[in-house]
Amino acid sequence: MVRAFIGDIGHLLVVVAFITSLVATYGYYQASRSNSKDDSWLIYSRRIFYFHLLSVIGVVVVLFIIIYNHYFEYHYAYSHSSLNLPTHYMISCFWEGQEGSFLLWTFWNAILGVIIINTNKSWEAPFATVFALVQAFLTSMILGIVLPVLNIKIGSDPFILLRDAVQAPIFEINPDFVPVD
């Protein structure tokens, strides 16, 4: 039960990262449009972007916990790791799949964004508007939701369970079956 809960936390953090990147984009856009001395949009957007960075770090931590602890009920861990791998190869399992690669891009992009936001105050609002929008795009690639009205899938969820990703008779008999790698 705890193992399934950690994936729910990871997916929630992905959703939070996506929403905070959109909110930061809007806030920085408003800050770049205003010519007044009022920095409320700038301060608000900066805090939201920091919160975005924390949620991205949380997603990274959760996915690494899943890989490192060999939670093979998750499709990502089952597809990209093994019990026989040494630790340095398990670290590289993190970005081996598409979802992990997008997450790695999102992580380093968020770190770079915070560095630039803190070092170049004169360009912060226009730069961070575009930067937060790029973060929204990158985060959407690991969102893994389906819009039923348009029948469009947005991204690929790294926290999908194996029973939801693979059609196998064993999952019809025992949905909680976890294969040993």
DSSP string across 95-164:
TTSHHHHHHHHHHHHHHHHHHHHHH-SSSHHHHHHHHHHHHHHHHHTTT-EEETTTTEEES--TT-BHHH
Average pLDDT taken over every residue of the chain: 85
Residues forming a β-bridge with 146: 153
Burial of 155 (0-12, 13-18, 19+ CB in 10 A): buried
Q: Among residues of the chain, what percentage have pLDDT more than 90?
A: 39
Contact 59, 103 (CB under 8 A): yes
Tokens of 71: 């939670």
Q: Residue 177 — very low, low, confident or very high, per pLDDT cuts 50/70/90?
A: low
Mean pLDDT over 139-158 rounds to 84
